[in-house]
Structure 1
Amino acid sequence: MSRFLLPSTPIYGHLSPMVAVGRGLVARGHTVTVLTGRRYARLVREAGLDFWPLTAEADYDDARLQDWLPDRGRRSGVAAGRYDILNLFVRPLAAQHAALHAALADGPYDAVVCEAAFLGVLPLLAVPRADRIPVVGVSATPLALTSVDAAPFGSGLEPGSSAHTRRRNRFISAVLHGGPLRPVQTALADALTSLGAPAPDGNYFDQATRFDVTFQLAAPGIEYPRRELPPTVRFVGPLRPQPQTGLLPSSPLPPWWGDLDGNRPVVHLTQGTMANVDLSRLMVPALRGLAGTDVLVVAATGGRPLAQLEDQLGGPLPQNARVATFLPYDQLLPRAAAMVTNGGFGGVQQALAAGVPLVVAGSTEDKPEVAARVSWSGTGINLRTGTPSPQRVRRAVERLLAEADYRTAAQRLQTEIAGLGDPVEAITASLGRLVAGSDLEPAHPRPVLERHSH
């Protein structure tokens, strides 16, 4: 059996998939060490994995980002995205690389299985393949690869196949990457050259495809087609729901679970586990907008206290609302008729794996890109804001439930995801071939040229 090192940025939405992959590798007889932030040591160890800490210069608490980035809330739009990229991903690069180097020295390891946003791996990837162990990537965020076929990542624009949209894509890319996002590329190049590594190969947004193999935890049908997509990118589908561990402790089903008896359509409401500090952005208007309608709203606060939700709501929960801090998706989503979300990619993927159409209201991190992909694939409605009014949420949910095309599209993705099988099995098989010295990869699905959307 093999020994694998799994580095990850200390952000729950990035780390959680890596822990699930690590758990799957251990279940198949391998030994796994996870390199990440100290906040997640318990989560890692309770999953049966070894833990190696990041140094302080790369270790931040994603539940208290204001301590790491005190000016974060003062920016919006492109400036906010640039600030996050520079400080959450580029700034820790050198310290990440030092921690990675120290962990590898404690080896030997047979391969590195790296969360795709962990930039500290880039100097290792610059070493010729014959002179290092295999390094594969696992991407749990939408594909950011620059392309003439897609608008720049972060724009939230859906692609098109016409000459006009390709010209639009080139123009926006030149403006953004030559202007507001130029500091990102400069900072990345400076961070690499300071370590004696070559300047980045391609744009910052292309780095997730530089691995020997990149496992994209998505189905092709939710991702934009790109002619530049390298054959080393494999779409293996979203991870299957896992038992709650560590920071998400297992708990009995809430006492109101019997209300999910099928008498009313169930609408699941979530604001994720990261962008949920202010529940008044989505959860509060959604609860207000759906109050009094003939649906059962089943909400999860992502760990935030229920008292916080009631306080921000300004009173008790509506009669048709049921709330818990966390809920088991493997039991909830098969009962759901729709999902209202701020666009966390993992949750969206789990909904699609269950054939559940979506209403997406997200404006931070990669959430506008997730929302655009949901709209483009026809699997839901993009509200194009992170702070919708109660009326907009209600109208969107009513439309989602009334128009069968959304559920049909979501069920198409459900079938596609099921056909991909277990992504951990695909990752394990590929690692076996790489460790054995074979780079041969079987044929795998690619994004199709067109999708119908509403």
Structure 2
Amino acid sequence: MAVGTHGDVLPFIALGHELLERGHWVSLAAPAPFEAMARRAGLDFQPLGTVADYEAVIRRPDLWHPQQGFRPMFDYALQVAEPTCLWLGASWARGLDVLVVASPLAWGARLAQDLYDLPTATLHVMPFLIESRFDPPELPGLPLPRFLPAGLRAYLNLGVDAVAVGPFALPPLNALRARLGLDPVRRLRHWWNSPTRLLLMFPDWYAAPQPDWPAQAIQLGFPLVDRFGDVAAMPPELEAFLAEGEPPLVFTYGSAMRQGADFFATAVQVCRRMGRRGVLLAPQGGQIPKPLPPGIIHLPYAPLSALLPRSAALIHHGGVGTVAQALAAGIPQLVVPVAFDHFDEGRRLRDRTLGTTLSRRAFRPARATRALRRLLADPAVVRACAEARTRMAEAPAAITQACDHVEALARGEAGGTRRATAARRPGH
């Protein structure tokens, strides 16, 4: 069960496909627009809402507001929570051996776990959602100075959670829990983690394990899964474009973005100033300036695993799946963060000399050009990117490891290097 956009759902499709190959029956519950992708992977599909419901969320302007972006997604998570909880309950009542792997916003899965004691693993693709007083994430729109002690930054993050998130999300969630006969939740970011198993899909060199992470957490690696995307191979026009000249700059602002016109207009100007070719990736053509000058091409989608190794740099919003593909390709990244985990991913890239960030306001042709020229010319960045590419190539397949842990959970094993010790307590 996955609630989110393209990058959130793809790892679950890949995980389901691998489990299917191992002989298990798999159904994916996800937003309705992902049905075709799930069916191509051989999975049964349970739509969470309708296509219109999903589009209504994606088109909300506040989705891309640093402080308010969580509200549309939480509204949607709550909207689909009760029907999916009851769907899981009905499957369990029919005598099926049900095991659930859920994203943090798949609240219906956690409700079903509390109601029916279903074995459940929460799968996290971003370190941003794992709290720690030793390494607190950078919240969107709250760039706390790094010279502040980590404990103080974590305390301030908790304050933001208590003031902004809790009063908005907890009353309707707890009203639903009361109708289902469950105790209230006090901390959303604690409750959405399954007390039996957490699968953290990011490597320890990118997000070091912390002593206060949940005991049931098992850290794996990045799931490189764009082969399950909307295009299986390189589009012929892009293949021809890449063969015609030097490696291009690649610009993308995420599959769900509907407000990227300024970003892509700046992208065109950056390519002109640097004398470089460019690839603009956006599913919605209305965001792309027309006509495009020679040497710049627009496509709705391209597999980053095939495109980025033949590119010079990636300029993007900061989604963790996109970050991982650029790390695997060994190219520098310029992140222009919008909301959610984007600011935290940008911070991790800066800390590891793998890229830099510019705010949306600062992402203008002259400044972006200077930032990219520094990235491309800095030997330390080149060296760090090459080391990341080697690490990614040598790492075991994260989806395969995740499947091993899912099967261990189905057998009732604790498994992993961090043993699951937390007791199941509804409301905690």
TM-score norm. by structure 1 comes to 0.81
Cα offsets for 1:235-255 (capped at 9, x unmatched): 22222344355xx24466333
Partner residue, 2:276? 295
C-alpha change, 1:436 and 1:263, in structure 2 (3 Å) is: same
Partner residue, 1:38? 32
Indicate the SS of the match to 1:43.
Answer: helix
1:12-27 residue pairs with structure 2 within 5 A?
Answer: 12-27=6-21
Give me the whole-angstrom Cα distance separating, in 2, the residues matched to 1:268 and 1:186.
Answer: 43
Partner residue, 2:326? 351
Give me the whole-angstrom Cα distance separating, in 2, the residues matched to 1:229 and 1:294.
Answer: 47
RMSD of aligned alpha carbons: 3.0
Tell me if 1:233 matches 2:191.
Answer: no
Tell me if 1:214 matches 2:198.
Answer: yes
Give me the whole-angstrom Cα distance separating, in 2, the residues matched to 1:309 and 1:76.
Answer: 18
8 Å CA contact 1:279, 1:309 repeated in 2: yes
For residue 156 of structure 1, report the CA deviation from its aligned partner: 5.3
1:193-204 residue pairs with structure 2 within 5 A?
Answer: 193-200=178-185, 203-204=187-188
Mark the runs of 5 or more structure 2 residues left unpaired by the alignment: 420-428
1:76-87 residue pairs with structure 2 within 5 A?
Answer: 76-78=65-67, 80-87=68-75
C-alpha change, 1:187 and 1:132, in structure 2 (3 Å) is: closer
Match of 1:320 among 295, 298, 303: 295
For residue 19 of structure 1, report the CA deviation from its aligned partner: 0.8
8 Å CA contact 2:2, 2:8 repeated in 1: yes
8 Å CA contact 2:2, 2:103 repeated in 1: yes
8 Å CA contact 2:204, 2:219 repeated in 1: yes
Cα offsets for 1:375-413 (capped at 9, x unmatched): 233211111337721222212211110112223223333
Give me the whole-angstrom Cα distance separating, in 2, the residues matched to 1:261 and 1:38.
Answer: 37
Tell me if 1:53 matches 2:47.
Answer: yes
Give me the whole-angstrom Cα distance separating, in 2, the residues matched to 1:124 and 1:232.
Answer: 19
Cα offsets for 1:24-75 (capped at 9, x unmatched): 111222221112233322221121111123356xx764344267x5xx4499
Amino acid at match of 2:251: L
8 Å CA contact 1:282, 1:342 repeated in 2: no
C-alpha change, 1:288 and 1:199, in structure 2 (3 Å) is: same
Partner residue, 2:423? none
Give me the whole-angstrom Cα distance separating, in 1, the residues matched to 2:73 and 2:11.
Answer: 20
1:21-420 residue pairs with structure 2 within 5 A?
Answer: 21-54=15-48, 61-65=53-57, 72-73=61-62, 76-78=65-67, 80-106=68-94, 108-126=96-114, 132-149=117-134, 150-151=136-137, 153-155=139-141, 157=143, 164-174=149-159, 176-183=160-167, 184-200=169-185, 203-223=187-207, 226-244=210-228, 248-250=230-232, 253-261=235-243, 264-275=246-257, 277-301=258-282, 303-305=283-285, 308-310=286-288, 313=289, 315-385=290-360, 388-420=363-395
8 Å CA contact 2:110, 2:192 repeated in 1: no
For residue 87 of structure 1, report the CA deviation from its aligned partner: 1.1
For residue 270 of structure 1, report the CA deviation from its aligned partner: 0.9
Indicate the SS of the match to 1:52.
Answer: strand
Cα offsets for 1:261-314 (capped at 9, x unmatched): 495343211111012x1231322211212214232212221x223xx244xx2x
Amino acid at match of 2:319: G
Give me the whole-angstrom Cα distance separating, in 1, the residues matched to 2:244 and 2:49.
Answer: 50
Give me the whole-angstrom Cα distance separating, in 2, the residues matched to 1:225 and 1:156.
Answer: 23
Give me the whole-angstrom Cα distance separating, in 2, the residues matched to 1:197 and 1:26.
Answer: 33
For residue 82 of structure 1, report the CA deviation from its aligned partner: 4.5
Give me the whole-angstrom Cα distance separating, in 1, the residues matched to 2:221 and 2:256.
Answer: 22
Amino acid at match of 1:289: V
Amino acid at match of 1:304: Q
Indicate the SS of the match to 1:391.
Answer: helix
Give me the whole-angstrom Cα distance separating, in 1, the residues matched to 2:157 and 2:27.
Answer: 41
Cα offsets for 1:336-390 (capped at 9, x unmatched): 2210001122111111122222100021333223222222332111113377212
Indicate the SS of the match to 2:393.
Answer: helix
Give me the whole-angstrom Cα distance separating, in 1, the residues matched to 2:264 and 2:112.
Answer: 42
Number of corresponding residues:
417
8 Å CA contact 2:138, 2:144 repeated in 1: no
Indicate the SS of the match to 1:268.
Answer: strand
Give me the whole-angstrom Cα distance separating, in 2, the residues matched to 1:386 and 1:50.
Answer: 43
Mark the runs of 5 or more structure 1 residues left unpaired by the alignment: 1-6, 445-454
Indicate the SS of the match to 1:291.
Answer: helix
Partner residue, 1:11? 5
Give me the whole-angstrom Cα distance separating, in 2, the residues matched to 1:120 and 1:165.
Answer: 33
